[in-house]
Amino acid sequence: WSLVDVLRGVAGAPGLERVDVVQPVSFAVMVSLAAVWRSWGVEPAAVVGHSQGEIAAACVAGALSLEDAARVVALRSRVIAGGLAGRGAMASLALPAGQVAELLRDERYTGAEISVVNGPLSTVVGGRPDALDALTADLERDGVRVRRLPVDYASHSVHVEEIEDEVRTALAPITPMTPEIPFYSTLSARR
């Protein structure tokens, strides 16, 4: 199957609900959009991205070749599909991270943790499905906006440590380069 087959919904092509399909598609869209903007003369002064976006940003910045960045996305998503899929969950909460951290101290939510801070009032939690079920049910009852993410794994959580060695092995051939465009880390907020 090809990317075009997936996007057109061709019979036999896998669907976008699979992590090993949607992540490469998402990466392809991001890198392609950057190329279109550049063709129109829009050059980035700096780049930053989160998760798949960070890999795309590394490619756009020149820190990874297109081939290596695509390899990172494809291999990483394949390892996630094989090692994490079916065992976790994620949810977006309309609450500040500090408040979510306090909530997660409650033993009813053991197995859930903060995965992503998207903004002052937007925090994503990930972890065991039962822990997220309890947390989201309680928050919805209290009138908090909750949105379960359509994934069956807990990305950006301690769960990922289970596949760390496999990801490192799969990505060993990658050759990072010095970026041509400033590339900022979402972890440290520094170049």
User: For 136-179, what is each residue's pLDDT tens digit?
Assistant: 999 999 999 999 988 888 888 888 888 889 889 988 999 999 99
Q: Which one of 80-94, 128-142, 157-171 scores highest in mean pLDDT?
A: 128-142
Average pLDDT over residues 98-126: 95
Q: Which domains does the chain have, with CATH numbers?
A: 3-84+163-170 (3.40.366.10), 89-150 (3.30.70.250)
* Residue 150 identity: P
Query: pLDDT digit string (tens) for 3-36?
Result: 677 777 778 776 666 777 678 888 999 999 999 9
Residue 16's pLDDT is what? 64
The span from the CA of 65 to the CA of 74, in Å, is 14
pTM for the whole thing?
A: 0.81
Proportion of the chain above pLDDT 70, given as a percent: 93
The span from the CA of 146 to the CA of 92, in Å, is 6
What is the number of residues in the chain? 191
DSSP 8-state class, residue 189: S
The span from the CA of 36 to the CA of 88, in Å, is 36
Least confident segment among 11-20, 81-90, 131-140: 11-20
Least confident segment among 21-30, 40-49, 109-118, 128-137: 21-30
Task: List all residues 6 or more positions away from 93 whose beta carbon is below 8 Å from its beta carbon.
Answer: 100, 122, 123, 124, 125, 136, 139, 144, 145, 146
pLDDT band at 134 (very low <50, low <70, confident <90, very high): very high
- Reference 116, options 157, 172, 160, 164; nearest CA is 157
